[in-house]
Structure 1
Amino acid sequence: MLSYKAPLMDIKFLFEDVFDYYGHYQKNPDFEEATPDLVDAIFQECAKFSENELLPLNQSGDQEGCTFDNGKVTTPKGFKEAYDQYVAGGWQSLSHPVDYGGQGLPPSMGMAKQEMMATANWSWAMYPGLSHGAMNTVHTHGSKEQKELYLTRLTEGTWTGTMCLTEPQCGTDLGQVKTKAVPNGDGTYNVTGTKIFISAGEHDLTENIIHIVLARLPDAPAGTRGISLFIVPKVQVDQQGNLGESNNVTCGSIEHKMGIKASATAVLNFDNSKGVLIGPENKGLECMFTFMNTARVGTALQGLCASELAYQNSLAYAKERLSMRSLTGKKNPELVADPIIVHPDVRKMLMTQKAIAEGGRAMIYYTSQLVDIVEQGQTEEERKIADDRLGFITPILKAFMTELGCESASHGMQIFGGHGYIQEWGMEQIVRDVRISTLYEGTTGIQALDLLGRKILLNRGKSLKNFAKEILVFCKDKSMVSSNPHKRGMNKFIWPLSKAVANWQQYSLRIALKAKKNRDVVGSASVDYLMYSGYVVMAYFWAQMAQAAYEKLATDVENRDFYRAKIKTAEFYFEMMLPRTKSLAATMMADPKSLMQLDQELLSF
């Protein structure tokens, strides 16, 4: 049986000591209610809901799965009751505008809430989670009337939302979208087509589902330039939000999947379904990126959630499971064998899980601050700087964290041994559930091309230069005795980090020069380049956490072991994980000819 305890102390450490969230909130009048006392109280209640209501449904939901019957989808036992409690508790409205019934608290608080709920039960959390992207899209691109009609119900949680992009023939290549939208002459459109892989596309949790749909207008240009975006409700609604007739949106089937079986992944058929245009004509893909970027950060969160859940359960098991004796002598002579946590190989896997979970949490919470600023920054310049930084770090965050989430889950199964492979303990479920995270919202390869191709090469490295400058300023400041009394302890982090950042910039330039002669260099290097970038970025945040821990230990703070553990985990990361960049550097700089020189005809079996 899976267990989970919300890591409230770790969250508080990031909020108070690493990122100064309360100073960040005080800069924005809209966030003035987010005081430490209020935030702590909300997080305590969120932890209780996650641990007591959602966790018990995790494995049972996986075993039961969703049921499909003639277009209707029934979620597993307990899911609707938990969702009703979620709505009654005001959780959906936590970080959304007061104008539409929200509580107006910062988006970053919503991310911490989402982490706890999603770690306890990822499949369940996907249902309300998809709504946030739909809400952000309507809020950013919708008309006043669309916001008033749809955002109020989505904010209170009585309706949910989806994103409908992919079709059977196109996958990630959305330029091949065939769904049509024909104007009715009254401001509405008849939308016809089939969408696949629609998470939360059909369920029994709410009375209506609001679909955000990519489709083509008549005579629209070919490719991505001819895609528009539409709001298409499952059930028709009038201007007062009253439900009417069915809108001819039917669920053709739900997918039989490797994991997240309690989350319905639907095939949706639109048959002259009434919708309204959101945003400008033929600019749908640009508008949809509001949704996609929200979803990509949310997908990165899945890597963190899988790591945290795998680590907590692996640690408890490793402390209790007895097998063999320590290589350095018996540690528990009164027992028939020592607990497996004494073995270096097991300890290495546990430390890797811990470093991934806590380092990934820091990366995501840093990004959450950027989201706060992008959405509600006080000046246009402030919002632009944050948006540039967010655009740069999002593909790294999404791909790197999901890949490491898979690694962490796999370590969990390995620590459990044969017991990890059977359903009872839940470890194989974590492996199955997290595997999709590297695929949806753009595969690791797609994210890597976005990072290296768009954010580095097309942008001439500007975003990298700005982010590297931030890291190097941190390194310079922490290496000066006058400004940092903990310089001696920090040297083991500062110098490797400074070198890694310098190499990151140099490798970027060398790849750019090689790509001018051979475009295949970009595709060959991109994934390794992204993972290299991820390890450097995570090193930056581990250095920040180590600095904050040193500062706390210099006071009479309680729970001193917590801060000592931060420093020791940072040391592990720098000694055992950051060196992975060396092999990544070798492979990303290798000539791609060995990839491409074998003719397709010879790629046979």
Structure 2
Amino acid sequence: MRVEDGFQPVPFQEDNPYTSDPVLPSLLKRTLPSSAFQEINPDLERLGADVVTTIRPLGSSSRVYPPRLTQYDQWGRRVDDLETSEGWRDLKAYGQKEGLPGIFYERKYNEHSRSYGFAKMLLMVGDVHVVFCPLSMTDGTARVIELMGSAEMKEKILPRLISRDPDVAFTSGQWMTERPGGSDVSQTETVATPTGVNNAFGPQYTLNGFKWFSSATDSHVSVALARTGSPKAGSRGLSLFLVPLRLPLLRSPSDPVPPATSNNIFVHRLKNKIGTQIVPTAELSLEGSEAYLIGNLNEGVKSISPVLNITRVWSAVGSVGGLRRCLAIATAYAKVRSINGGTRLLQDSPLHVSQLAAINVLYRALTHLTFGAVRLLGKSECGVADADELRRLRMLTPIVKAFAAEKACAGMEEAMTALGGAGYMEENGFGRIIRDSLVEKIWEGTTTVLALDLARASQDPAVLNAFLSWVKNVVSSCPSDLHERLQKPLNVVNDAVSELASSLKKPIAPLVPRPALILAGYVTSSTYLLEHVIWSHTTGEDERETDVEVLRRWILEGGMVPATEDVRRATQDTDARVKADSTMIFGRSSRAKL
């Protein structure tokens, strides 16, 4: 039989990712001022159409390929010529023109500008090959300079970091990771030496060291931690610096690009990663590189914290955006794939649709969770968050990043299987999205690292109480008729909150932090879903019954009950379980070391 004969699969067509999204339009309608929503909504509809017609072709396989590094020219001179693909450059420029990260600093919609910008990211992220990695770090660097940069940095560098014009816009990297420790920066080996020069950008230093994981090595600048105090001081001896990748830093777009080694930064090699292969991630050495102090001396970890907090929110939106695209593919496929001898479509199969519904519920829960943190971030940056909201943001930042990464990847895999063998083919996009999304479980802190961060935050009684009070207040605001319908799931939430509150009180058992973070993710997402259900019920929205069903399924079927039991188990028989874990993995000889 010729390939043109016989059964011919019908290609699926994805709808506008904004107008067809099951949660984002109504979430924005609820959380944005009416006037802002009326302006933003058409722009998101326009962007949704552009994703399908313009942005997706920019990321075609013919235009996007991994970066290439040429370290030496034909005469043996060190050149470190880094070549990135046309697709990478065009997609990054598209993001900048759409206002990422510019929207966040123009603040046309005040604290709601974060929701607007991240809504754009959510629609684009499944098609733009991780260009939001450098744009997220650019956002973080812009915030650091806005908060503590010198007057010259604010005047000359900040406008470029937030520019919508790709010809003049800067991107920024973030260099923390070194060989002695990943998330543990206390053993940082890079040393900063003052030059005695008071540069226009601030006190000038030279940096000498080795950065083991430097994402977006094609950026214009980077923020980097380096040691200015004694090695014995650990992380308390680190300071934060702005590092130009090439000198001179400020030049006209028409000026020649300075050599890649002009600031004594040398690329050892590009990382060979299982995903994010388009991103030029490198091992590099700093050999007397010029840099400028940001913030106070020996307060580098504190100074760089805005970068970490902001990029963790970007990471969460990235996880959820990847899930959105995978769900959209699976949904579109179900509308055209015929089964039962061509007499039915997959969308008419209850068993298949139930699988898609479970992914849909997960996507809704993660979107509400993530944009809850986004709104708090926007309020904090605009100075309109009250003390308890700031405390909640402190807890939510590690929760949202880790929980979204953990849950979204599993949902993507489910969406892939909904296409059967076709889902395993690279052409349909699942492979790249899943590979790229797996990094979110590691980038900016693994789940375990973030769980320990959550444990530290919760040791402040005011922080934990702010979180618990918020949950209690949302539940108590539920109208009586709605509360009666939701009695069973709300009982589950109350039990989870009680277990969570007990487990996070001093002293925290050693096995509690990770299951506690997962449970906190369930509680927080359920509370945000409940807020939406109350609004939908009260205002008589068309989707109010669906919203109730989503909340009910998420709480009763999404995993909160076993997550509560995991926390309960982690608080009991700790010593015996720790010893048993070690014996299982390392053998009996390890028990003598415990």
Q: TM-score, normalised by structure 2?
A: 0.84
Alignment of 1:266-285 (within 5 A): 266-285=282-301
Structure 1 residues 192 and 50, CA gap change in structure 2 (3 angstroms): farther
> Does 1:150 pair with 2:186?
no
Which residue of 1 is the match for residue 312 of structure 2?
296
Which residue of 1 is the match for residue 5 of structure 2?
none
After TM superposition, the structure 1 stretch with the greater mean CA deviation from structure 2, 81-90 or 293-302, is 81-90
Q: 1:277 Cα shift?
A: 0.4
Structure 1 residues 297 and 511, CA gap change in structure 2 (3 angstroms): closer
What secondary structure, in the 3-state scheme, does the structure 2 residue paired with 1:5 have? Answer: coil
Structure 1 residues 168 and 603, CA gap change in structure 2 (3 angstroms): farther
> Does 1:468 pair with 2:468?
yes
Alignment of 1:129-278 (within 5 A): 129-156=136-163, 157=166, 158-186=169-197, 187-202=203-218, 209-217=220-228, 219=230, 221-237=232-248, 246-278=262-294
Which residue of 1 is the match for residue 436 of structure 2?
433
Structure 1 residues 145 and 102, CA gap change in structure 2 (3 angstroms): farther
Which residue of 2 is the match for residue 352 of structure 1?
358
* Percentage identity across paired residues of the two chains: 21
Kindly provide the CA deviation profile for residues 222-259 of structure 1, in whole angstroms up to 9, marking residues without a partner as x. 31111110000112246888986721223322212111
Contact 1:180 1:191 in 2 (8 A): yes
Which residue of 1 is the match for residue 427 of structure 2?
424
Aligned equivalents of 1:106 and 1:131: distance in 2?
Answer: 17
Quick one: which of 488, 497, 509 aligns to 2:502?
509
Alignment of 1:298-377 (within 5 A): 298-323=314-339, 335-336=341-342, 338-341=344-347, 346-377=352-383
Q: 1:89 Cα shift?
A: 5.3
Quick one: which of 542, 545, 548 aligns to 2:535?
548
> Does 1:411 pair with 2:414?
yes
Listed as ranges, the gaps of 5+ residues in structure 1 are: 24-33, 203-207, 325-334, 481-486, 516-520
Report the RMSD for the aligned CA atoms in angstroms: 3.1
Which residue of 2 is the match for residue 584 of structure 1?
566
Kindly provide the CA deviation profile for residues 543-580 of structure 1, in whole angstroms up to 9, marking residues without a partner as x. 2222333334x3xx6xx3x5543333233223311434
What secondary structure, in the 3-state scheme, does the structure 2 residue paired with 1:60 have? Answer: coil
Aligned equivalents of 1:102 and 1:80: distance in 2?
Answer: 29
Structure 1 residues 91 and 176, CA gap change in structure 2 (3 angstroms): closer
Q: 1:501 Cα shift?
A: 3.4
Q: 1:416 Cα shift?
A: 2.0
Contact 2:111 2:379 in 1 (8 A): no
Q: 1:153 Cα shift?
A: 1.4
Which residue of 2 is the match for residue 571 of structure 1?
552
Aligned equivalents of 1:344 and 1:513: distance in 2?
Answer: 48
Structure 1 residues 229 and 566, CA gap change in structure 2 (3 angstroms): same
Contact 1:183 1:190 in 2 (8 A): yes
Q: 1:62 Cα shift?
A: 9.6
Count of paired positions = 551
Kindly provide the CA deviation profile for residues 18-72 of structure 1, in whole angstroms up to 9, marking residues without a partner as x. x3x217xxxxxxxxxx733322243234334433333234462797322333233
Contact 2:265 2:289 in 1 (8 A): yes
Which residue of 2 is the match for residue 596 of structure 1?
579
Kindly provide the CA deviation profile for residues 500-554 of structure 1, in whole angstroms up to 9, marking residues without a partner as x. 2354234432564664xxxxx23x12211111111111111222222333334x3
What secondary structure, in the 3-state scheme, does the structure 1 residue paired with 2:173 have? Answer: strand
Alignment of 1:468-547 (within 5 A): 468-480=468-480, 487-488=481-482, 490-493=483-486, 496-497=489-490, 499-510=492-503, 512=505, 515=508, 521-522=509-510, 524-547=511-534
Structure 1 residues 493 and 144, CA gap change in structure 2 (3 angstroms): farther
Structure 1 residues 491 and 543, CA gap change in structure 2 (3 angstroms): farther
Q: 1:295 Cα shift?
A: 0.8
Structure 1 residues 501 and 137, CA gap change in structure 2 (3 angstroms): farther
Q: 1:135 Cα shift?
A: 0.8
Aligned equivalents of 1:499 and 1:229: distance in 2?
Answer: 45
Aligned equivalents of 1:178 and 1:416: distance in 2?
Answer: 49
Contact 1:149 1:240 in 2 (8 A): no
Q: 1:105 Cα shift?
A: 7.5
Q: 1:278 Cα shift?
A: 0.3
Structure 1 residues 105 and 547, CA gap change in structure 2 (3 angstroms): closer
Kindly provide the CA deviation profile for residues 115-136 of structure 1, in whole angstroms up to 9, marking residues without a partner as x. 2222332413323232111111
Contact 1:95 1:106 in 2 (8 A): yes
Listed as ranges, the gaps of 5+ residues in structure 2 are: 1-11, 72-79, 198-202
What secondary structure, in the 3-state scheme, does the structure 2 residue paired with 1:183 have? Answer: strand
What secondary structure, in the 3-state scheme, does the structure 1 residue paired with 2:291 have? Answer: strand
